[in-house]
């Protein structure tokens, strides 16, 4: 299991006053099982069954990752 922290996108809709608009990236965290990894991205899954079924995949570009920590399950 991994804890991954990354800079995610931040989407705003509708009219904004120029002095109040912020262009900050959203800070995100996820915990999941490592499904796959390439030079460009990692993919986490939230659950894996004994039949090999995978639940909820999340792919994160490595360039946006700020922190990764391997978690130990007791």
pLDDT on residue 65: 97
- Per-residue model confidence as pLDDT tens digits over 17-30: 888 878 888 899 99
pLDDT on residue 70: 95
The three-state secondary structure class of 63 is helix
pLDDT on residue 30: 95
Q: Which of 11, 24, 38, 25 is nearest to 64 (CA)?
A: 25
What is residue 10's DSSP assignment?
A: -
59, 43 Cβ separation under 8 angstroms? yes
Average pLDDT of the chain to the nearest whole number = 92
Res. 73: pLDDT tops 80: no
Q: Which of 38, 28, 26, 33 is nearest to 57 (CA)?
A: 33
């Amino acid at each position: 299991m991994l804890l991954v922290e990354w800079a995610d996108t931040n989407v705003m809709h509708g009219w904004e006053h120029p002095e109040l608009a912020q262009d900050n990236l959203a800070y995100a965290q996820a915990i999941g099982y490592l499904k796959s990894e390439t030079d460009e991205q990692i993919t986490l899954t939230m659950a894996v069954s004994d039949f090999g079924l995978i639940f909820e995949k999340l792919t994160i570009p490595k360039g946006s990752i700020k922190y990764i920590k391997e978690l130990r399950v007791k």
